[in-house]
Amino acid sequence: MPPLDTPTLADTYRPITDLARQYGIPFHLAANNRHASLHLHLPDGALLAVTDDGVGGAAARKPNGATGWQITRTLPTGQRAVIYDSTLLGDHHRLGVNPSPVLGAIARYLPPPPSPKPTRTRRRGLLTRLLRLT
């Protein structure tokens, strides 16, 4: 168990980390002054920082935790833009902590998912044909 002053990601981040793993996107937890955010490293060099207003903030002391998400995209040039904000003062506040819109906003910046591994049906068919010949 981490020390009390070490921020950790809540289980609410699991859909985001699962999406990143599905697409093969590296990510890490960034922490500073008891505040944490999840950073997704995109193939184009951009960085998506995903935070909720409940990690280290006033909402963290509420029984139900966070009330919204914020996603900031930082380009390799240093240019930053908020692409999604459902925190109390955000444009998407009405969506709250619903993970579907967050995943949709992140998915717009992800590359196509890796192609599935080929099935082994051809080998199985070859083995069947070879066995028939014997």
Q: What is the pLDDT of residues 38-85, one digit of tens each?
A: 899 999 999 999 987 764 444 444 445 677 889 999 999 999 999 999
pLDDT at 33 over 90: no
Is residue 12 within 8 Å of residue 52, measured between CB atoms?
A: yes
Number of Cβ within 10 Å of residue 84's Cβ equals 23
Q: Report residue 118's pLDDT band, with 50, 70 and 90 as the boundaries.
A: low
Q: What is the mean pLDDT of residues 18-39?
A: 82
pLDDT for 53 equals: 73
| pTM of full prediction above 0.75 | no
Give, rounded to a whole angstrom, the gap between the first and last alpha carbons of the chain: 61
Q: How sure is the predictor about 10, in pLDDT bands with cuts at 50, 70 and 90?
A: low
* CA 15 – CA 102 distance, rounded (Å): 9
Q: What is the pLDDT of residue 90?
A: 86
Q: What pLDDT score does 81 carry?
A: 95
Q: Which residues of 49-67 are buried (b: 16+ CB within 10 A; e: fewer)?
A: bbbbbbbbbebbeeeebbb
